[in-house]
Amino acid sequence: MIRAAQQKDAAIVAKMWRDLLNVPNTTDEIAARTMQRMDEDDRYGTYVAVEDGRVVGFITFVEVISFDDPDGYIKLNGIAVLPEYRHRGIAHQLMERAEEEARRRGASSVGCATSFGREGSQALLKELGYEKSAFWFHKVF
């Protein structure tokens, strides 16, 4: 089942950010505060996959507009599925939910960046029809 994330999901989402997306500074408190801010801003969406009453995956995104894409697009900020639940179609369901939301909002596309070493994510994106089109550069202050 895919449902909207709730504040009670913050700790497991934070753990997946730390353990699966290799972002060690994502504390439970940071996740709870971020989810609260996202809840207050309708440009954002965060959904979780639940199996047997357990959150086993998530996807989070933001609607972005730009001069070259005035209808907007959905930028995926993160997607992860617990290893023991992979290869069951959960990531596909999460991606479908983001794509449904993009269509509902009238966005022209969905895009994301992924790390060089995340071959599984890259394979999923290619399988779902996504094309590699750019590199992502990042500067931390």
Tens-place pLDDT, residues 20-70: 988 889 999 999 999 999 999 999 999 999 999 999 999 999 999 989 888
Is 141 a domain residue? no
Is 19 a domain residue? yes
Is 134 a domain residue? no
Instruction: Give the residue numbers spanning the domain of 78.
Output: 2-127
Decide if 13 contacts 31 (C-beta within 8 A): yes
Is 51 a domain residue? yes
Is 133 a domain residue? no
Total domain count, the chain? 1
Decide if 31 contacts 6 (C-beta within 8 A): no
Is 35 a domain residue? yes
- Whole-model pTM: value is 0.89
Q: Minimal CA–CA distance to 34: which of 42, 22, 26?
A: 26
Confidence of residue 119 (pLDDT cuts 50, 70, 90): confident
Give me the CATH number covering residue 30: 3.40.630.30
Q: Minimal CA–CA distance to 78: which of 132, 129, 15, 134?
A: 15
Is 73 a domain residue? yes
